[in-house]
Structure 1
Amino acid sequence: MSTILGAEAFQQMQAADPAQMLGLVSAAARRARQHWDYGLAHPLPIERLADIQQVLICGMGGSGSTGDLLVSLCSDSHLPLRVNKSGQLPAWVDRHTLVIGVSYSGNTAETLACLTQAQQQGALLHLLSAGGEVADFAAAHQLSRVPLDGGLPPRSALFDMFFALLGSLQKLRALHLPATADTLGALSQLDQLSAAWTARPDEKAPAPLQLARQLVGLQPIIWGVSQESEWVALRWKNQLAENAKTLALWSVLPELNHNEMVAICAAHHSRQALIYLNLETATPVADSIALALAADHLAAVEQLSAAGSTRLERLLYLTYFGDFMSVYLALLQGIDPTPIEAIEQFKARLAQAQA
C-alpha cells in the first residue's frame, strides 16, 4: 500500500466527514492554548486551600476523561486524586474534599446530582462547563467556574477542558502540576502534531492514518501499561467506539499477563490486531515477552511509543494520536465520525422513563 494519500482518496474521506470532525481534531491544539488562558483567568479560590486533603473529579464521557488525564499526569501528587463517573458521590467526601465538576454541556444529569450531594456533604466545589445547569448552579451558590467555549462534541473538546482545568489549579501545589514552561512546551508540541498529522492530498499519509489503514477490517485490542498509558488505552477504545463505530478491546499490563493472555494464546485470532501503547521509549522486558507471545496468535501487533521530553508531552502525544487515528479509521470506511445516535436514543428513552 502506497504511503502517499492520493487526491481521490482524500476527497472520499472529505465526503464522509460532512460535520468536519477531522477539522475539530486538528484545531484541538489551538483551542487548548485558549483554554489554558481561560483557566489562568478563573483560578481555584485560595480560601480553604489549606483544608483540602483529597480531590475528586466528577464527569461523564469526554468530560470525565478530563479527570482521567489529570490523574495520569499527577503521578507524584501528594493529594489523593480520583475520578467519579456516576451519579452517586462516595460517602468519604467531606469538607476536606475538593470536588471538581466537569460537564462540557453543563447539563449532565450524573454530574449535577454529584454537585448537589457534594454541597450537602460540605465539600469545596470548583466547576467547568460551557454553560447549562452547571453554570446556573455555580451562579446560584457563588461557586468558582471556568467557562468553556461550547458547540463541540464533548469527545473533541478534551484538550479544551483539560487545559482549562490545569490552568485553574495552578495554586494547588500539592498536586505537583507541571511547571508553566513545561505546559507551554506541551502546547507547542500539540501545534506541531496537529500540523504533522492532518492529512493533505498527494502527500505522505500521516502516521495515524497509516495505522488506521492497517486496522480496516480488524478488531483493535489496545494494551496500556498500569500507571503509565492505562487511561490512554481506554481513551483509544472510547474514541474508536464513538468516531469509528468500532468495538475495541482494552487491557492493562502487567495484569493481563495473569488472565487475558490465556485466551489470546488459546487460538489464532485472525481478525484482531493489537496496539501496544508505551509512555516511555524503552519497552520493559516483561512487556516484550507478552507482545511476542501475542504476536503468534493475532493478525498484527503494533507498538507505539510516545514522543516528548516530559510526562505531559508523552501523554498528550499518545492521546492525540488516538484521536486522529479513530477519525481516519471512520473516514477510510466511509463512516461519518460525528453522529452518536445510540447515545442520543439512550438519553431520550431515559428522559421518557423518568418523566
Structure 2
Amino acid sequence: MKITDFINKYDSQNQFQVLRNSCNQISDAWNNKIDLSGLKKNSFSSILFCGLGGSAISGDLLSDYLYGELTIPFNVVRGYNLPSYVNQNTLIIISSYSGNTEETISCFEQALTRKSQIVVITSGGKIEEIASSKKIPVIKIPGGFQPRYALGLGFYSLLKLMQELGFADENKNVTDTINLWKRRSDDFSGENNYALQIAEQLVGFIPVIYSAEYLSSAGYRFKCQLNENAKLHAFYHTLPEMNHNEIVGWESYKEKQFHTKVIYLLDKEYNPQIIKRFDTLKELLAGQAIEILTISSNEKNRKVRIMDLIFLADWISFYASVLRGFDPSEIDFINRMKQRLT
C-alpha cells in the first residue's frame, strides 16, 4: 500500500491537511491583535502558565525558546492548585484550548481569589465566560482543532503576548518559521519523505527519546504526540539527568523483553559536555545492540531549529499512527476519562 492509502483509510478528520496548513496557524496567532488594557505591565515578579496536555506544551516550549533570555521566573503548572507564592504580583496565564479543562478552571478561580494579574488564551468555553465577566484580557484563538494539532495557535499566541509585554522581540524568527513550515509541509507530504522514513523505522518498536537543554520540550512533545496520535507507548528523558539514573537500566536490556529504539534530538549548540555525554551514551548502548536514530536541524537560528524539530516530530507521529492502523484523531481513553469525571 502507498502511504496515501493508509491516510485515506485511517485519517478520519483529515489531520494530514491540518498539518500541511500549520504555518497558517502561526500567521493567524501573530497577526491577532491583543488587548491588554487593565493589565499592569512591568509589575510582575514571576509568570505562571497554567494548562494541561496540548494546551500546556506551549509553556514548556516558551521556556526553551527564550532559553537564557527571560529576566523573571517562568513556570508551568499542570494540575488543580497554584503554588503558595502566587500573589497580586504574579502574572497568571490561563491556557485551555477548549476553555473547559477542569484543572485549569480550578487554577483560574484560585488566581482570582489571590488577585493575581491574569491573561487567558482560549477558543471559548467556561474559561472565556469567566474572563469576560471579570473583564480579564482574553486572547481568542480559532476553535475546531484538537489541542495537540493547534500548537501554532497556542504557542505563537503566547509568544506574541510575551512580545507585547516586552519579554521578546521575535518578528524575524516568526517570519522565518512560517516560511520553514511552508517548505516542510511540502517536504513531509510526499511519498517516501523523511518524516515517513523515520515513522517506518518505529513500527514495532517502543521509542525512547533523549534530548537536552533547550530541546527538552521538543523531546517531551515528541513523546506525547506518539502517545496520542499513534497510540504508542513512548518514553522520554533529558541529558545530563538520565546519566545519573536511567542509564543504568540499559545494563539489563534484553530485546525480547523491551523491543525499543532510541531517538536522539541533537543540536550543534548544545554544551560541549552534553555532546560528549550523547557520544558516550551511544557507545554504551551499542554494546547492548540498541539502535539509535539521530534527528537534528540544520537551520542557522537556534529558535527556528527548535520549531523545525517540533514540526518534524508532529509529522512522524502522524505517519506512525496511520502505518500502525490507528486514527490520528481518536483519543478514546482520554474522552472516557473525562466522562467518568463529570
Measure how far apart 1:280 and its partner are. 2.9
Q: Is 1:334 aligned to residue 322 of structure 2?
A: no
- Does the 8 Å contact 2:118/2:136 carry over to 1? yes
Q: Is 1:213 aligned to residue 187 of structure 2?
A: no
Q: Which moved more, 1:268-277 or 1:243-252?
A: 268-277
CA distance in 2, matches of 1:183, 1:299: 38
- Gapped regions of structure 2 (runs ≥ 5): none
Partner residue of 1:64 out of 50, 53, 56: 56
- Gapped regions of structure 1 (runs ≥ 5): 1-5
Measure how far apart 1:251 and its partner are. 1.0
CA distance in 2, matches of 1:317, 1:280: 14
- Does the 8 Å contact 1:242/1:337 carry over to 2? yes
Measure how far apart 1:260 and its partner are. 1.2
CA distance in 2, matches of 1:34, 1:298: 47
Alignment-derived partner of residue 11 in structure 1: 5
Alignment-derived partner of residue 273 in structure 1: 261
Percent of aligned positions with the same letter in both sequences? 28
| 3-state secondary structure, aligned to 2:12 | coil
Partner residue of 1:144 out of 134, 137, 157: 137
Mapping of 1:187-226 within 5 angstroms? 187-199=178-190, 203=191, 205-225=192-212
Mapping of 1:58-97 within 5 angstroms? 58-75=50-67, 76-97=69-90
Alignment-derived partner of residue 106 in structure 1: 99
CA distance in 2, matches of 1:298, 1:105: 45
Measure how far apart 1:45 and its partner are. 3.8
Aligned length: 336
CA distance in 2, matches of 1:51, 1:125: 12
Alignment-derived partner of residue 22 in structure 2: 28
CA distance in 1, matches of 2:305, 2:169: 13
Runs of 4+ in 1 over 6 A off after TM superposition: none
| 3-state secondary structure, aligned to 1:327 | helix
Counterpart of 1:72 in structure 2: which amino acid? Answer: D
Could you give the per-residue CA deviations for residues 189-237 of structure 1, whole angstroms, max 9, x where no partner exists? 12111221113xxx4x111110000011001000011x22111111111
Could you give the per-residue CA deviations for residues 45-72 of structure 1, whole angstroms, max 9, x where no partner exists? 4741121111000001100011111111
Partner residue of 2:301 out of 295, 310, 322: 310
Measure how far apart 1:311 and its partner are. 2.6
Could you give the per-residue CA deviations for residues 10-57 of structure 1, whole angstroms, max 9, x where no partner exists? 22332111211222122111222111111xx01444741121111000
| 3-state secondary structure, aligned to 1:224 | strand
Counterpart of 1:113 in structure 2: which amino acid? Answer: S
| 3-state secondary structure, aligned to 1:306 | coil
- Does the 8 Å contact 1:128/1:146 carry over to 2? yes
Q: Is 1:294 aligned to residue 280 of structure 2?
A: no
- Does the 8 Å contact 1:58/1:114 carry over to 2? yes
CA distance in 2, matches of 1:193, 1:34: 18
CA distance in 2, matches of 1:169, 1:221: 33
CA distance in 2, matches of 1:183, 1:45: 25
| CA-atom RMSD in angstroms | 1.7
CA distance in 2, matches of 1:43, 1:61: 26
After TM superposition, the score normalised by the length of structure 1 is 0.90
